[in-house]
Structure formats: C-alpha cells, structure tokens
A and B are shown apart, each in its own frame.
Chain A
Amino acid sequence: MNNTENTSPLKKTSVVRTMDIVNQGLKKRYAAERRFKRLGFAAIIASMLFLALLFVSISSNGYTAFWQTFMKIEVFFDPELLPQDALRTADYGGLVKQSLRNMFPKAKGRRDKRALYKLVSTGAAFQLRDMVLQKPELIGQSLEVWVPADDDVDMFIKGHFDRNLPEDERRLKDNQLAWIDSMTAQESIKKKINTTFFTAGDSREPELAGIRGAVIGSFYTLVITLLLSFPIGVAAAIYLEEFAPRNRWTDLIEVNINNLAAVPSIVFGLLGLAVFLNFFGLPRSAPLVGGLVLTLMTLPTIIIASRAAILSVPPSIREAALGVGASRMQVVAHHVLPLALPGMLTGTIIGMARALGESAPLLMIGMVAFIVDVPGGITDPATVLPVQIYLWVDSPERAFVERTSAAVMVLLAFLVAMNATAVFLRKRFERRW
C-alpha cells in the first residue's frame, strides 16, 4: 500500500485504510487483554477459594478438640485404700469408682456399675495419684475434683452422637445418658480448655492424648537439620560459586545437585536406614538420625538457593573490593556473604518448612512409632508432628478425628509462621542495586 502518488483522493484513501485496519484490530486487542486480565484474576480467586476451603474444613473439624469435657466428682481419699508404704501402686481407680457409686447409689448389679465407671476416663485414677503423691496430707480428706470424662461422653456432649438412635446402635446406653443428663442438670459436667492436648504425649485414650512429644521431637529434629544443613549448604555454595574451577567435574556436580533436589523424599529414608542405622549403628527412632536424613534432603535446596543469592551480588562489588586490596577470602567473607545472606536465609527457611512437614523418609528409620514419653534428648526415641497426625488418622476412636484436625491446625500454624518469617526477612534485608 505504498501509494506515493500525490493525488488527494488516493492519499486520503490509503491513510484512512491503514487507520481503519488498526482501529478494527484495536477492539480485538483490548478485548483479548481484558479476557487475559479476567482469567488471571479468576485464577487467583480459584486458588484463594481452595486455600479457604482447606482452612475452613480443617478448622471446622478441629476447633472442638481444644475443649475437653470434665466431670466434677466428690472424692474421699480413703486411708484404707491408700496404704502409706505403697502410695504409688495403690488402687486409685477404686477411689474414683467409690465416688461414682456415692453420686449414683441406685446403680446396682455388675453391668450397671461397669457402665457407670465407663463414664470417667482412665486418666482420672492417675490424676488422683499425682495429687496424693504431691500432697500426702490429702489422705483422709474429701475434695471435689474435676476429672476428664471418657471420650464417648466427650463426643456426646460436643454433639457428635445422635441420642435418638436405637440403643444397640449407640456407644452410650440409656442408663449412661440418664446419668449424664442428671449431671448436666447439677452442672457437674462442663467443657474446659483442653490443656492436655499441649502438655501430654501420645496416648491410646483420646482424652489423654497430646502433641507435646511430637512437637519436642520435631523441634530436636529440626535443630539438628538446621545446625548441619545451613553451614554445609552455604559453604558448598560459596565454594562452587567463588572458588571452584569451571570444568566438567563442576558441571557434573551442578547437574547432580539439581537432580537431588527432585528426588522423592522416601529415598533419603532408605539411605538413612542403610548408612546411619545399619552401618554406623546409631539408635533407631532418634531425632539425631531423623535430623541427619532430613539434612540430606534439604541440602540441595539450600545449595541452589544460596548459589542464586551469591550470583545476585553484582560483580562490581567484588571488583571494587579486590581493587581496594582485599584478598579473595576477604571479598567473600566481608562483602559477598553479608549481601547474599537474605536470599540464603529465605532458602533455608523454606527448606526447613519442607523438612517440618515430611514423614515418609522418617518411616524407614523407625520414627513412625507409638511413643508416649516426651523425648529428653536427641538420642531418645521420638516422633514428629506429621507422623503423629498420620498415626492418629488410623485410630478407630471417633474422638481422634477432631484431634487429628487440631494437630493439623497446629502444624499449619507453624508452617505459616515460618514462611511469614522468610518473607519478612527478605523484605527487611533486601538491597536494591
């Protein structure tokens, strides 16, 4: 359309034609841009919706676990049942049964009495034992004690059981429901904050189970992982970036590190079993071994993030330092490392957050186990929070369903906190060139 004839009508036509074509196309282009923006917006909304769905479904299942039903019983610390020389092994269950019988004297016959005793948790006896061992002067006195109720009663009070079903389909029988109703009328059955969830280790009874053992185990494991993977990862990254020669060997190493970052985590567990347990003979199920396995898993992530951070430091800084007379070690230690540190920290925290949520590699080294005692050191047997959740999911008791969701909420809270710290650190220490 390069019509260069100087006749007015032809010139106008060619100008109008080009403009027309452009104008027609413009509408389509704007429409396409609007569509693209809307699609992007819809994608964000969809992902936020899924996230909200996840949080809402877990929270709605789990928030009830932060309350536990307690019953008020009047306990007479009978000196006959509590001989002075054998206080630890005395029959504290008998004290609980005695006070229940006193509350409901109409319960006669062995079946009725068994149903009555089942209303209170087995943990009540141990609670009384701890009270007497702490204060032996309680013997001979009467006291009102709030004891945890059995998990079936707890589920009923929280509304998870339908009382209108026929009796043989219910966990709580008619006589038990009648006793619970009379206690509700006297206000001796109440829901209180479930501190046991945070202070106790694992248990087979849902009302006595807590996440403390798993949290401490996770803490020790992550401490070992951090202490080992951060220095090794950073040092490896510095060496590979600053000092290593560029030849085929370093290329091979780089490819292997990138591959290791994508290896399924259970493979590290198999490696841990073969090397740490069988060859070195370290104790099974210990946070020490768990930390070593998770170190192997997070090292590639930290090395890659650190290398990226070091690369982002401009060469002008290095050249300026060298020009002022610094040695290569001083350039790295005094200039490159401090400037690359925010990126390294972000990578480390993200690696730690991933390690916190792992349970497959710990399966092979024995950390998927029922462990009641809270671990005292790094060689005591321990379990971690994701594993605790996995074990509770397999339990048949209904009350474990809500506790599993509550443990998931705690785990998510830790992960969100760690990632938020990563973002905060990055923003705080970011330097713009």
Chain B
Amino acid sequence: MSKRTIIIVTVLIFGTMAFFAGNSMAAGRDYISIVGSSTVYPFATVVAEQFGKTTSYKTPKIESTGSGGGFKLFCAGVGVEHPDITNASRAIKKSEYDKCQANGVTDIIEVKIGYDGIVLANSKKTAPFQLNRKDIFLALAKDVPDPNGGEKLVPNPYKTWKDVNSSLPAQNIEVLGPPPTSGTRDAFVELAMEGGAKEFDFIKAMKKTNKNQYKAVCHTVREDGAYIEAGENDNLIVQKLEANPGAIGIFGFSFLDQNTDKIQGSFVDGVQPTFEAIADGQYPVSRPLFFYVKKAHADAIPGVNQYLEEFTSERAWGEEGYLSEKGMIPMPDAERKEFRSNVKNLKPLKK
C-alpha cells in the first residue's frame, strides 16, 4: 500500500466517523415517536408543537399512517425502534389488542381526547339538505330494502334524492367521500348508515341472527358511481363541491369550520352540524378520538409523561382549549376528569 493510499483511507474513515459521531443512532431515542390516524393528526400535531415550544424536550415526530396502519406499527413490540404512541379515530379492536399482547406490548393506556363530527356538506350556492339517517342509508347502501315493500334486499335502484325521500330535491345522488382505507369512512358507515338501516325492523333483527350479514348490509357502500371515492385530501373535496353545486361531500367538522364562506353542512335528523350541537351529542354523526400509549415507553423515552400531561391539560383539550379552536369537540367534564386520572396513574387497558 502506498503512502497516498494510507492517507486517503485514514481521511475517509475519520470523515465518516465525524459524520456519525455527533448523532446518536436508534439506541437511545430522545424524541417521542407517534403514528396513527390522519383524523387525529391535526390535533396531535398542535399539542406536539406546543409541547416542544414550552418545554426543553424535542418536538415529537408524528406520522399520519391511518388508524389501522398505526396499530400495526404500535403492536409490533416494545423498544426504541417501535412507536411510543398511536392515534386512532376508533377504539382498538380485540384482534389488535391480542396482537399487542402477543408481541410483548402488555400495558397500554387508552386515552379518549374528544369528539369529531362528520358532516355532509354541499356548496352554499344551493339550499342545505335536510336528511335523515334512513335517507343516507337508502341513498348510499349497495343493497337496500325492496321499494315495493317486503323484507327482501335488492341492489340500490335510487338515482335521485327525491326517489329516496319525496321531500328532498330532485337532484342526482352524487356523494364524494373517503376511501375504504380511511377511519372516517369506517365511522361514517357505522354511525350514519347503520343508524339508518336499523330503522328497518327486519334488518335490526338480522343483528341477532346473522351478524356478518348485518354488517355487510349496513356497511357496504354502493359502487355504481353515485358514491365517488375522493381520496384522503379533504381540501380537494371542498374545491370539487364549489365547482359542482349538486354534489355532497363527507369529511370532518374542522374542514367545514375553516370554509364556512364556501360550504354548509346538511341537517341530519333535524340537527345542524354546529360546534355546540356536536358537543352536547345532539348531532348524531360524531365519533370519539383516541390515542394509546405504551406504559413501558412512558418512563424509558424522555418527555412522554410530560407530553401526556400537556395533552390532558385543560388549556389543550378543555372547552376553551386550543384544540377546540382547531375544530375538535371537547368531551364533557366528567369524561375529561376520568381520562386525566387514568393518564396520571397510567392505568392499563383491559379487553
């Protein structure tokens, strides 16, 4: 080996060492890693930023993977390479809980943070819709009860809103909504469509006799073009509603709140989707939002306990808190107290 080669090799080695030296690799992560729902993401990011600015800890890193994707990463195990917290727009399923237990993630704390309303909005250029959950089910389900009567299910024949309910306008049914991968879609079919399907006695009876068929009837959305999957980008849906006044869009309350000059929410079961109506439970299409924490990580990763404290403080999730200004509906006082004490005591979830 010539002298020159030795010098070059030494310089390269020291260079790479210097590049890596100042940084700690995965062992000993000093920031909080959060994954999960894209619905909770706008709220968790506000808390994370506030936490980062007011304390000396690093700002948590938050990924928007979807509720299901978040649980997959969360339940993969305990350790610095796995996330500490997962956000979810639905409660954890039994199968996911079992998977967590199987992989060693034994103590998880469930924290409900508030409610989110799902609105059916249309452009201000036309009149707002007055819908019942039954109308929503009949307009959007794949199979509906036979219009001629009886207890049979037929493929959805309705083309206009007037066909579904004679008091509605004679407009084509055109609904832009979330795709099947979205938690918002899961919540919408459960709250709005299932709520409407239950009004048919024979479908309600199906719940006891054949649960799978009941779920299939209530949750399957029509695929003949009346329901258009508009992707995860809700800003795009708002723009499309502006361009097409005859269409209706399905998204979270925060998007309606930020665009009140262009769009309006439809009345569901006679209730207008306002902050107050969703907060006191009158508006029927609202779902709780959660996040789940690993107890093992709460002490191991610096800052987790303080982040939990910030999230469960009154200035964050209270009635006048900064999360409510971003469009999240706060829980009633009693629930806030309950979850705050759960977090303080790191009370694990039992399913």
Contact = CB atoms under 8 A, between A and B. Distances in A.
A369 B59 CA distance: 12
Contacts, number: 99
A311 to B, nearest CB: 30
B208 to A, nearest CB: 41
B61 A370 contact: yes
Interface stretch (B42-50, B91-99, B277-285): B42-50
Contact of A368 (B46, B59, B64, B232): B64
Contacts of A372: 48-49, 52, 59
Contact of A393 (B61, B235, B261): B235
A395 to B, nearest CB: 7
B233 to A, nearest CB: 6
Given A281-B26, A285-B61, A397 B258 contact: yes
Contact of A396 (B54, B63, B255, B320): B255
A396 B258 contact: yes
> In this complex, which of A114, A205, A285, A394 has the most chain B Cβ atoms within 10 angstroms of its Cβ?
A394
Interface string A257-295: 000000000000000000001000111110000000000
B85 interface: no
B64 A283 contact: no
A204 B42 contact: yes
B23 to A, nearest CB: 4
Interface string A372-396: 1100111111000000000101111
Per DSSP, are chain A's interface residues mostly helix, strand or loop, or mixed?
loop
A165 B261 contact: yes
A203 interface: yes
B25 interface: yes
A204 B261 contact: no
B172 interface: no
Interface in B14-70: 19-20, 22-26, 29, 31, 33, 38, 41-42, 45-46, 48-49, 52-54, 58-59, 61-64
Given A282-B26, A393-B235, A394-B235, A370 B254 contact: no
A170 B260 CA distance: 7
Interface in B178-235: 232-235
21 contacts: A122-B322, A165-B261, A282-B25, A283-B81, A284-B26, A284-B33, A285-B63, A369-B62, A370-B45, A372-B48, A372-B49, A372-B52, A372-B59, A373-B31, A373-B59, A376-B22, A377-B22, A379-B25, A394-B233, A395-B42, A396-B327
Interface of A: 89, 114, 122, 126, 161-162, 165, 168-171, 203-205, 277, 281-285, 366, 368-373, 376-381, 391, 393-398, 401
